[in-house]
Structure 1
């Protein structure tokens, strides 16, 4: 193990996802010594198979170690998930999503949960240090932050340049010169770009768009949806088309 700082994940979904996807980064699994469910037993077995130490503890010890009572009887000490720069990753096909303007870890977790459920193959984020808030992101995402492929870019130009060189069309959640997302025929591979409700997307990104898409409202509301809600609508518009094609 490296000397990297560790974080503490709470709950079975977060711990299970990290053990399954990044076992080499985990340090030790703490479990409630009196709790034994099928899910608990399965996670403990997988941890031991991966060579991860398992330490049964009293509920009081778990409460003190985590500083809360919401852990559900399981904690995992682990190194954070590392987010590589996009240019250092391989090629990506299918549903790529770039999200700007998400600062709150709960919102990022909600976005991850939605994108993973809808079949996203890669999430790209602006570069920043998410390490300290990864326990919150992991809990809010139901562990999908560890299961998604995630990369980052230092500048919006890095995203647009990479997508253009890879021949992946850029689709923006943007109302100007847009068509409704419902009924849109999604390409085999694409990068969907979603901005924050207040500032939207960077001009660099919108200028590179091959198509803008918007969400039609069935009311007179003028405000933009928050990012997790918008991501859910766009992602499942794509997922719905895929589902219909597979179940004809």
Structure 2
């Protein structure tokens, strides 16, 4: 059993017909968007339980439940090969985000949120040395985790090889690549973003087709993983939608 915390994530879970076991709402929170949540839950015949806010505080892992927590079944990860097949059947060019050992739940949630905004088809994470989909991740994604398939894979390198066989070009985000906005990021694409402290592993980088970098002129020589990912994702979005 898992939980979803916060008003926007809970609203998106209800809208997306996520199987919610129970909705726990603070006795002191019945205004604003809480009213909307209650109405949506009643329409979907979801069990609502009004509880003391202290109980929600004890359950919360994000410490930002905003007076509402939904108890749900554990997150179901998607199969990356199935996602790619479905995207191709729609006649679209796959756009897959590959995260190499992202361990910060806020970074993962933010990247998933941006992935949803730019129309990415999936986010891939490794089974080891990576944060899972947790209530903190769901909260940081503002509910986007309900819309962007997240695929957990045993081996990132093998997944990259599979995606290349499916016709995707794989770009690695690292310091020694070509300037990102001068690269062709259209067509079937996998974008690899590295961890907060160590970047992309050597073996993963070796299996990518090309490397893109972001020029920086300040004193700090790196960006937060979710910030770097957001910049790159929007450049892909710009090129895919403008044809440039």
TM-score range, shorter chain: 0.7 to 0.9
Q: How does 1:85-234 map to 2 (within 5 A)?
A: 85-87=79-81, 89-91=83-85, 92=87, 93-128=93-128, 134-176=134-176, 178-219=177-218, 221=220, 223-234=221-232
> Do structure 1's residue 15 and structure 2's residue 27 form an aligned pair?
no
Stretches of structure 1 that go unaligned for 5 or more consecutive residues are: 1-5
Compared CA separation, residues 60 and 175, structure 1 to 2 (3 A): closer
1:96 Cα deviation after fit: 0.9
1:127 Cα deviation after fit: 1.4
Secondary structure (helix, strand or coil) at the match of 1:56 reads strand
1:191 Cα deviation after fit: 0.3
Task: Please say if residues 80 and 134 of structure 1, whose CA atoms lie closer than 8 Å, have aligned partners that are also in contact.
Answer: no
Compared CA separation, residues 48 and 90, structure 1 to 2 (3 A): farther
Stretches of structure 2 that go unaligned for 5 or more consecutive residues are: 88-92
> Do structure 1's residue 27 and structure 2's residue 21 form an aligned pair?
yes
Compared CA separation, residues 240 and 27, structure 1 to 2 (3 A): same
Question: TM-score scaled by structure 2?
Answer: 0.83
Question: TM-score scaled by structure 1?
Answer: 0.82
Secondary structure (helix, strand or coil) at the match of 1:229 reads helix
Task: Please say if residues 156 and 204 of structure 1, whose CA atoms lie closer than 8 Å, have aligned partners that are also in contact.
Answer: no
Q: Residue deviations 1:64-101, cap 9 Å, x none?
A: 55489742221111122111342454524432110112
Indicate the residue corresponding to 2:90 in structure 1: none
Task: Please say if residues 24 and 69 of structure 2, whose CA atoms lie closer than 8 Å, have aligned partners that are also in contact.
Answer: yes
Aligned pairs, number: 237
Compared CA separation, residues 39 and 7, structure 1 to 2 (3 A): same
Secondary structure (helix, strand or coil) at the match of 1:17 reads helix
1:241 Cα deviation after fit: 3.2
Compared CA separation, residues 40 and 164, structure 1 to 2 (3 A): same
Q: CA RMSD in A?
A: 2.8
Matches of 1:59 and 1:152 in 2, distance apart? 34
Matches of 2:82 and 2:125 in 1, distance apart? 14
Compared CA separation, residues 240 and 80, structure 1 to 2 (3 A): same
Secondary structure (helix, strand or coil) at the match of 1:182 reads helix
